Copies of this chain bind each other. A is one copy, B any other.
Amino acid sequence: MNTFGRYLKITTFGESHGPMMGAVLDGLPANLPIDPAVITAELARRRPAGDAVSTSRIEPDEFQIVSGLCDGKTSGAPLTILIPNVAQNSEEYKDVADIFRPGHGDFGWYHKYGTMPGPGGGRLSGRETVARVAAGAIVKAILKRQGINIYGYTKQIGPICAAEREKEFIEQNPYRLPDRAAAREAEKLIADLRAAGDTIGGQVVIVAENVPAGWGSPVFGKLDATIGKAMFSIGAVKGVLFGEGLSFATMRGSESNDQLGPAGPLTNHAGGTNGGLSNGAPIVVTLVVKAPPSIALTQKTVNTKGEPCAITIKGRHDCCLCPRIIPVAEAMLALTLFDAFLERKLA
């Protein structure tokens, strides 16, 4: 379905080439001041930077809040944000309307609904995430006022790994790498891939600082589980890892346990949760991001009649999704944490 969250619910709607995208946020407490500028800022962070790494379809994202605000504060009513689509170009998709694009959801959509998802991927398009970012911006700002700081960075783009963690540099380069040398390498890599008509995967890290201990729930509502669901609901995310991630496979209990002091965990191998509940250390989650499946190279595929054919995808596409996935993942983490904050009130 198109709704996420249990106490704070976000419902999104709209298709890539339809008139608008939208989000309804239901469950925000009343009387919280909302500054629309935070939405503008987060949408700007999600927008393609005009560089080679991202798509050249650039939407102005001039949103409108049409409900839920009263004198600049939440009213208790559902808060709705509409974001018109203006830069769509369905012409680009005409030739491939009946052909499944490898690596895309078209094939599954067709087997479920019996039709193709529409131009630009319809509801399957990454454009859908604009609504999440807009709604998440509000929630991220509310959490910020509670002292919770959410941010993300690119850890790896293909063979290039960030060795440094220069936090200030993250938002100063189109890759959101926290490492100047890695960013220079990335520029070259992306240029080569653009020339080759190919794309590349990577990893991003999302962090939430100052989450109090005791958020989450012990069994099916583990904080890891709800965050995991949130992150896997973002297209192209093929792996979610907490704390030490894959290293846990080779660590002994004596190495992976975070011993405790009066102020909480003395280390943060776990990435901020134990037994599904936050432990007061930063939530650290790593996403494995696959390469964008829309490539200019010719690929084998079939059409809706099951006939084999070849496909060469034109359109305007991202070369690596890492930088643009970061604001989306931050938004999803904010929505998930606020849900846990509300659930905590009921314990």
Chain A interface residues (CB < 8 Å from chain B): 1-4, 6-7, 9, 11-15, 18-20, 22, 24, 26-27, 29-31, 64, 66-68, 70, 73, 75-80, 82, 100, 102-115, 117-118, 121-124, 128, 156, 158-159, 193, 198-203, 212-222, 224-233, 235, 237-246, 248-262, 264-266, 270-271, 273-280, 288-295, 297, 299-302, 306-308, 342, 344-347
**Which residues of the partner chain B approach A3 to less than 8 Å between Cβ atoms?**
3, 9, 11, 26, 220
Q: Beyond the given A1-B6, A19-B66, A108-B276, could you list 16 further A-B residue pairs with CB under 8 A, ordered by the A residue number?
A: A11-B11, A11-B26, A22-B24, A31-B114, A70-B115, A108-B213, A112-B277, A124-B276, A225-B232, A238-B245, A240-B241, A256-B290, A260-B300, A261-B300, A261-B308, A346-B346
Distance (whole angstroms) from the CB of A223 to the closest CB of chain B:
8
Question: How far apart are A119's CB and chain B's nearest CB, in angstroms?
Answer: 10
Whether B235 pairs with A276 at a CB distance below 8 angstroms is yes
**Quick check: A108 and B12 within 8 Å, CB to CB?**
no
Given the known inter-chain contacts A218-B123, A238-B245, A238-B271, please indicate yes or no for A277 contacting B13, CB distance below 8 A: no
CB distance from A230 to the nearest CB of B (A): 8
Find chain B residues with CB under 8 A from A249 CB: 156, 158, 201-203, 288-289
